[in-house]
């Protein structure tokens, strides 16, 4: 894809981020998902407007793209986002199998205005027992039943 096309899509992500701030709808983040040179889905950050901490621009755009394309797999698509994705969004982008990420601001730029995800990266490096958020395993034998059913199923769809 030509640089002019890429710049057009990243500018759209910037526009969504700016509109979101001007309209008081949430954080200064926007994302656009493109397939074959056409916008498939776009969203700004909707955390505040939807009372949903997972409604970041990238996750919201992924949800919309999957609905529009009727798939859970976005191979063949790329995402343009106004800022380097946070850990949650980065995970979602990997799970959606997007081909590439283009971004504007860095995670350090985001941290400088109060959107600092460093604590999450730091937590992920710690052993489970040292993390701030306590993780407690319960009833592992019962939990394993669903995994065994999945493993034995002839109708499963891998993703």
- Tokens 């990997």 sit on residue: 94
Selecting among 58, 125, 130, 141, the annotated active-site residue is 58
Based on the residue annotation, tell me whether 58 is a catalytic residue of this protein. yes
Query: Strand, helix or coil at 104?
Result: strand
In eight-state DSSP terms, residue 114 is T
Structure tokens at 111: 């941290």
Can you spell out the DSSP letters for 9-77? Answer: HHHHHHHHHHHHHHTTSS-S-EEEEEETTEEEEEEE--TTTTT-TT--HHHHHHHHHHHHHT-S--TTE
- Tokens 């759209």 sit on residue: 12
CA distance 64 to 42: 8
Catalytic residues: 58
């Amino acid at each position: 894809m030509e640089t002019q096309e890429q710049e057009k899509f990243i500018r759209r992500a910037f526009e969504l981020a700016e509109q979101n701030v001007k309209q008081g709808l949430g954080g200064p983040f926007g994302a656009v998902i493109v397939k074959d040179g056409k916008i498939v889905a776009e969203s700004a950050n909707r955390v505040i407007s939807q009372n949903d901490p997972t409604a970041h621009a990238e996750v919201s755009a992924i949800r919309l793209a999957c609905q529009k394309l009727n798939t859970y797999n976005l191979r063949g698509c790329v995402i343009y986002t106004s800022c380097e994705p946070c850990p949650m969004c980065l995970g979602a982008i990997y799970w959606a199998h997007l081909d590439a990420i283009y971004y504007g601001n860095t995670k350090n730029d985001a941290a400088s205005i109060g959107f600092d995800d460093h604590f999450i990266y730091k937590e992920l490096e710690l052993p489970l027992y040292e993390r701030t958020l306590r993780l407690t395993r319960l009833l592992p034998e019962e939990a394993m039943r669903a995994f065994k059913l999945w493993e034995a199923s002839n109708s499963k769809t891998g993703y």
